[in-house]
Structure 1
Amino acid sequence: MRIHVVQRGESLWGISQQYNIPINQIILINEIDNPDILVIGQALVIPDLMREYVIQPGDKLESIASRYGVTVRELAAANQIMNPSLIYAGQMLVLPYFPHVVRQGESLWSIASSYGIPLTQLLQATSILNPSLIYAGQTIRIPNIRPSIEVNAYATEFDEAGRQEVLRLGRNFTYLSSFMYSIREDGSLTELQDKPVLDAARLNGVAPLLTLTNFRNSEFNSDLAATILRSASIQETLIANVIQEIRDKKAGGINIDFEYVYPEDRENYNAFLRRMVESLHPLGYLVSTAVAPKTSADQKGILYEAHDYKAHGEIVDFVVVMTYEWGWAGGRPWAIAPINEVRKVLDYAVTEIHRDKIMMGIPLYGRDWKIPWQQGTFARTVSPKEAVQLAARYGASIQYNQTYQSPFFRYVDESDQEHEVWFEDARSIQAKYETVKEYGLRGVGYWVLGSPFPQNWPVLQSNFIIQK
């Protein structure tokens, strides 16, 4: 997979010729609605035909496997496909092997070393009985090896469109966290009609998680959290209700997202997490948390102080660090997840939490602000796909901030109002995945499904194998 940034005067046909790839492959993988309209600065995913294949309408996994001389099992395993019938036109498949033409003087050892793969895996892929008997001009198969990570995706839409999205994208997830089950002061939980979406997740081998929050009246409520965290008896009731809900929904565990917890409840929150783990682990259920993006243990503010990174890292199975919302709706225009700020959080997080428990938060959305920005105004949330459509509609060129590793642009609407838009694209998401590799993290957590970002999924697949 490569990333092409559209330059002035380029056409989709010309780009396809440049990369020697059929134009429909670029159209499908990027979900381009009008091939005649490109935006200067737009990032396009270009599949590598030697290593990847874009599913065409009418394709079956069996026919694709036969075309490339691999088994259906090999192709499914390379792409985390649990159900061969759940493939969709426009999705990218990573081929289990790619060809290498032996050059004069090369050995299997040197070839394996050049691709960074173990010699044993290369021998297994080539089925060569005598490693010394290779020759220049011979074509051998190289296994397409990628590091593995876990992926959590939060879901908030539980209608038929939400179910179809999980069916289509589920091979990219380890966990699906249904947002949200709000606690009540008596230890009961609000209801959520998420069963069809959770069933769709399981068809893709995804473990459903129930997201537990202190959300009430359209906001996270500090007093509600305090009521629960300061009462052992209410916690017992809550834990019993959580276990029953997990059983009813056939989920794999919970993700606890308590926000704006009073600083004085920090130890109460840690004790609550211990009680949850003591109750759920013996039943085989996972317990995870979501925490605010801190850069130090003593960071001030009600959003941060009760989130004890060290304690969470010791107690729960994994922690989703919410490394997004720098460019929040009520603030000034800014990148949603500027990579320089994300790295500051990770630099601190890895000192308190083991790397194999950290899930780095990634936004699947952008925002559109009116400028000049005024205090008290709020930005509109847009999907990455919608952001590019806005740029096309108003004739804007997309720029890229190297410090933040984030695309942005400005435009003037029909009422002469100026806007500034920050969003994610293939370049920014690749920078985030490189960060995950560099820090050796457990994986990533997406907020939130329901926001079309077609480039993310092939970039994810080209970088990682997703653990199931």
Structure 2
Amino acid sequence: MDEIIVNGYVYPSVQPEVLEAWLPNLSLIATFSYGMTPEGYLIPLNDEELIEAADNAGVGSMMVLTPMNEQGQFSEQLVSDVVENPEAVERLLQEILYELRRKNLFGVDFDFEYVPAQNRDQYTELVSRATEMFSPEGFLVTVALAPKTSAGQQGLLYQGHDYAGMGKAANFVLLMTYEWGYTYGPPMAVAPINKVRQVIEYGVTEIPPEKILMGIPNYGYDWTLPFVPKESMAEKITNEEAVRRAEEFGAEIQFDEEAQSPHFVYWKEAVTTNEDGTEETVYQQHEVWFEDARSYKAKMDVVREYGLAGISIWNIMSYDPNLANAIKRAFSVTKLF
């Protein structure tokens, strides 16, 4: 049976029993998230309990570094402030190395999602420097990249991520192949396999497949219809909750063959307030897209087809036996120690 690396992103607020259920199926956890200041000082994360649990299960712990400021907000300006300042870069690298040693972490995952186009090469150089500096001490360096389908893809999410450069700079590259269906967008599959495949097809032309971890979503969304651009907000739900709602409202689960994803619609009673202040009971239509055993098998098939290093789950805050079983049926999971 082929062996793969399985990474799971996790917040310190995870329920201990959920983490324990996942650990046998993981090679790595990635604790989300450390931040940084414009001067390159590391903003720490209280992840010691996660690290201890992972260590006991033979699972490595990665610290995730994002451009999150002291107010807990993500900032593209913060990326520019740091990567354009050699002193800040040097300080950040030293701070990361200190934390890796102090907590006996397995490595660092750079997850800068909004990198200004003019800082693309400086970001790649930061990751390259980190690998040069940390590898001799046995630490792993990974980087999470937006789901691109071409080198020149436009948009803030994409322009600052250099697939070829990062493929050389990092030990592994995590491709975020999810969020086509997302909070502010119209109803659709979170990770339609046809879209995922396009990203992987491009990715392997720039990055060695044995360095790629394919992103896997562990959630779905529930949209209230009709969808109104710039107004509608989908509710993020677990896959288990999606199935529960289908059962509760007597909805028949459909399966989209092109997207290889399950979905359904249902009607739910809601109370609205009229302009004159009176309340009225109406029925609202909902559309739900989520993941199940079939959609996860389709994703595992792509991992095998392209000979990828493994998968990266966003995220492991809820346990899904369908995903755990799909992994176990298709692969054996690498244990790093």
Task: Show the counterpart of 1:386.
Answer: 241
Give yes or no for contact 1:176–1:207 (8 Å, CA) kept in 2. Answer: yes
Task: Show the counterpart of 2:179.
Answer: 325
For 2:128 and 2:250, locate their aligned partners in 1 and report how far apart those are by CA, in whole Å: 54
1:247-258 aligned at under 5 Å gives the runs 247-258=101-112
1:101-120 aligned at under 5 Å gives the runs none
**How far did residue 186 of structure 1 move?**
1.8
Task: Show the counterpart of 2:38.
Answer: 185
1:184-223 aligned at under 5 Å gives the runs 184-216=37-69, 217=71, 219-223=73-77
Structure 1: runs of 5+ lacking an equivalent: 1-145
Task: Show the counterpart of 1:398.
Answer: 253
TM-score, normalised relative to structure 1: 0.67
For 1:250 and 1:168, locate their aligned partners in 2 and report how far apart those are by CA, in whole Å: 23
Q: How big is each residue's C-alpha offset from its partner over 1:203-247, in whole Å with a ceiling of 9 and x where there is no partner?
A: 111110000001245553110000111011111111111111112
Q: How big is each residue's C-alpha offset from its partner over 1:70-117, in whole Å with a ceiling of 9 and x where there is no partner?
A: xxxxxxxxxxxxxxxxxxxxxxxxxxxxxxxxxxxxxxxxxxxxxxxx
Q: How big is each residue's C-alpha offset from its partner over 1:112-161, in whole Å with a ceiling of 9 and x where there is no partner?
A: xxxxxxxxxxxxxxxxxxxxxxxxxxxxxxxxxx21110110001435x1
Q: CA RMSD in A?
A: 1.1
Partner residue of 2:306 out of 432, 435, 439? 439
Give yes or no for contact 1:158–1:194 (8 Å, CA) kept in 2. Answer: no
Letter in 2 for 1:448: N
Give yes or no for contact 1:158–1:197 (8 Å, CA) kept in 2. Answer: no
**Radius of gyration: which is bigger?**
1
For 2:12 and 2:131, locate their aligned partners in 1 and report how far apart those are by CA, in whole Å: 28
- Percent identity, please: 39
Letter in 2 for 1:202: D
1:253-272 aligned at under 5 Å gives the runs 253-272=107-126
**How far did residue 196 of structure 1 move?**
0.7
Give yes or no for contact 1:384–1:451 (8 Å, CA) kept in 2. Answer: no
For 1:453 and 1:157, locate their aligned partners in 2 and report how far apart those are by CA, in whole Å: 19
Pair 1:278-2:132 in alignment: yes
**How far did residue 278 of structure 1 move?**
1.7
For 2:66 and 2:219, locate their aligned partners in 1 and report how far apart those are by CA, in whole Å: 22
TM-score, normalised relative to structure 2: 0.93
How many residue pairs get aligned? The number is: 321
Partner residue of 1:449 out of 303, 316, 328? 316
* Cα 1:379–1:218 shift into 2, 3 Å: farther
For 1:293 and 1:319, locate their aligned partners in 2 and report how far apart those are by CA, in whole Å: 11
Pair 1:362-2:229 in alignment: no
Partner residue of 1:234 out of 68, 85, 88? 88
SS of the residue corresponding to residue 414 of structure 1 reads: strand
SS of the residue corresponding to residue 45 of structure 2 reads: coil
Task: Show the counterpart of 2:25.
Answer: 172
Q: 1 or 2 for the larger relative contact order (CA 8 Å, sep ≥6)?
A: 2
Give yes or no for contact 1:312–1:319 (8 Å, CA) kept in 2. Answer: yes
For 2:163 and 2:73, locate their aligned partners in 1 and report how far apart those are by CA, in whole Å: 23
1:5-84 aligned at under 5 Å gives the runs none
Q: How big is each residue's C-alpha offset from its partner over 1:379-435, in whole Å with a ceiling of 9 and x where there is no partner?
A: 000000000000011110100000000000001112211100000000000000011
Task: Show the counterpart of 2:166.
Answer: 312
Give yes or no for contact 2:22–2:319 (8 Å, CA) kept in 1. Answer: no
Structure 2: runs of 5+ lacking an equivalent: 271-282
Letter in 1 for 2:332: I
Task: Show the counterpart of 1:122.
Answer: none
Letter in 1 for 2:306: Y
**How far did residue 304 of structure 1 move?**
0.3
SS of the residue corresponding to residue 43 of structure 2 reads: coil
Task: Show the counterpart of 1:418.
Answer: 285
